[in-house]
Structure 1
Amino acid sequence: MGSYVMAESAEVCSAPQLEAEVLVSADAGVRRRSAVLTGAMARRMGIYLLGVLILAVGNTLSTRAQLGVSPIISPAYAISEIWNIDFGVATMGVYMVFMTVQFILQGRRTRKLDLLEIPFSLVFSFMLNFFTGAFDRLAVPLGLDTPALWQKIVLLAGSVVCTGVGAAMIVAMDLVTSPPDGMARAAGVAMGKGLGLGKNTVDVACVIVSVSLCLLAAGHVVGIGVGTLVAMVAIGRCVALFNRLALEPMRKAAGLWPACPAGAECNLNHK
């Protein structure tokens, strides 16, 4: 009898203890998951912001390589040069057109988050002005105010790589894209392809629009050169190559793998 009472007493006493242990264990698990999510989000934001910075550098280099501007900014550059409008302001206006086309292509797949491309465009326009001014201040001491041919080629190569890598990093983090990259992603999905081919398609369209606008408004082509034509093909291929090499590790680091970027197809992201 005594043994039974002792055993029953032990069970009664151990139940709250067991419940407390379970709660402590669950709380520790939540804290661990929270720490993982916080670390993943920090990495995600870090990759995203680095991508924005790299993209801004790439766009700036394209305007200073003197071999023709990057295809994606060629309409804004043409408008800026023909009508003497601030390049950042012209870029903002063209980006609004890109957003409109993107939303039309996405249809019901358009997210509320995509509306943040408007303030993104504003901030990015200021960044372009800042980097352009910084480059111009450094150009004379570095001998890049009148670059030799090999320097122009280096600047063009840097522009292609930075633009492609920056765009791929931004889109991979599935946050707010730049309007051109959002439109490129939407175009790629609409064609059943990935960001790389979408980028190539948008670049070709931008060059056609720029040339047409220049001929109609100025009677001559502005900003389009051999570098523009090279970038028209090379940037999209750079995006595809970078995604093939780095998309999975980047998204794993950001806690996003195996899910695909919004509106993309995993098995087509490298094309």
Structure 2
Amino acid sequence: MHNLALSAKKASVKQKTFDPMSKRLLALVIGLTLNAFGNGLTISSNIGAAPWGASEVNLAHLFHVNIGIAMFVVGSAVAVINQLLLKKKDFLRFAGEVAFIASFSYFINLFTGFFTQIGLPQAPLAWRIAVGFFGIAILGVSISFYQRANLIMHPNDSTTNILRFLYLKNNVVRAQFINFLVPLGMTGICYLATGRVYSVNIGTLVILLVNGPMIAWTDRHLWHSLHHNVKQPKAIHD
């Protein structure tokens, strides 16, 4: 009888870690909006794209295709890899990631177009650096929000979540760094093939160094009532 009561208590505690769907949807919407906003700032300020975005730009130049096509193909491939990392089939997760990447470029284009119209690309360098770095910080905040909501997310951010919780004992900094090694390698291959590198600048290096710590900082200090809505599986050790 005592064991049954203890089990019920544990189940109750575990259930409390999952937020109401309304809060998770709100976190998703805010996170997606902030992510598009932050990407719009970094792209329009011309300080360098995030590693994944830079790799997609370079692939577009290598194969002479639209950046939207390159983004969709790479994102879909990452969604497939995520299924392999999970070691199980999760069609809803896969469909959500593909749907996300299909619409992601549209919202980035809206913000990029707006910031371009108000003259951000022609602003003084000091202003562009300041605005671009602010956009980088916003990216970390946005990823933290929709990763914690855990409904649908960018396939690349989903990879970070999978590595973080299944393989790396909740170490988001290490997970994000490993995640970024792949697009850096892709950009290097494109450079060897074309002799040129596009969309890589100081901002790319800053994102590589601070994006993981910024997500971790946001997890600890912003929106305390929003939990990581994930089931904690038994960790898979390195």
Instruction: Return the offset for 1:207.
Output: 1.9
Structure 1 equivalent of residue 168 of structure 2: 191
**1:56 equivalent in alignment to 2:33:** no
**1:206 equivalent in alignment to 2:183:** yes
**1:98 equivalent in alignment to 2:66:** no
Change in Cα spacing, 1:185 to 1:54, as seen in structure 2 (3 Å) is same
Query: CA separation in 2, counterparts of 1:242 and 1:103?
Result: 27
Letter in 2 for 1:56: A
The partner residue of 2:155 within 170, 175, 179 is: 179
1:95-127 per-position Cα deviation (integer Å, ceiling 9, x unaligned): 11221221111112x533312111111111221
**Identity in percent:** 19
- Unpaired runs of 5+ residues, structure 1, are 1-38, 252-259, 266-271
The RMSD of aligned alpha carbons is: 2.5
Instruction: Return the offset for 1:264.
Output: 5.3
Instruction: Return the offset for 1:244.
Output: 1.4
Structure 2 equivalent of residue 27 of structure 1: none
The partner residue of 1:89 within 59, 69, 77 is: 69
Contact kept, 8 Å, 2:24 with 2:150, in 1: the verdict is no
- Unpaired runs of 5+ residues, structure 2, are 1-18, 234-238
Letter in 1 for 2:192: L
Secondary structure of the structure 2 residue equivalent to 1:249? coil
Instruction: Return the offset for 1:226.
Output: 1.8
Instruction: Return the offset for 1:211.
Output: 2.4
Query: CA separation in 2, counterparts of 1:179 and 1:123?
Result: 12
Letter in 1 for 2:185: I
1:37-60 per-position Cα deviation (integer Å, ceiling 9, x unaligned): xx9332221111010111112222
Paired positions, count: 215
Letter in 2 for 1:154: A
Of stretches 160-169 and 182-191 in structure 1, the one that deviates more from structure 2 is 182-191
The partner residue of 1:114 within 85, 93, 109 is: 93
Structure 2 equivalent of residue 243 of structure 1: 219
1:45-90 per-position Cα deviation (integer Å, ceiling 9, x unaligned): 1111010111112222222222221112111121234445332222
Question: Which is greater in Rg?
Answer: 1
Poorly superposed stretches of 4+, deviation over 6 Å:
none
Letter in 1 for 2:124: A
Query: CA separation in 1, counterparts of 2:141 and 2:148?
Result: 10
Query: CA separation in 2, counterparts of 1:50 and 1:220?
Result: 36
TM-score by length of 1: 0.71
1:1-22 per-position Cα deviation (integer Å, ceiling 9, x unaligned): xxxxxxxxxxxxxxxxxxxxxx
Structure 2 equivalent of residue 76 of structure 1: 56
- Give the structure with the larger helix fraction: 1
Structure 2 equivalent of residue 261 of structure 1: 229
Higher relative contact order (CA 8 A, sep 6+): 2
Secondary structure of the structure 1 residue equivalent to 2:49? coil
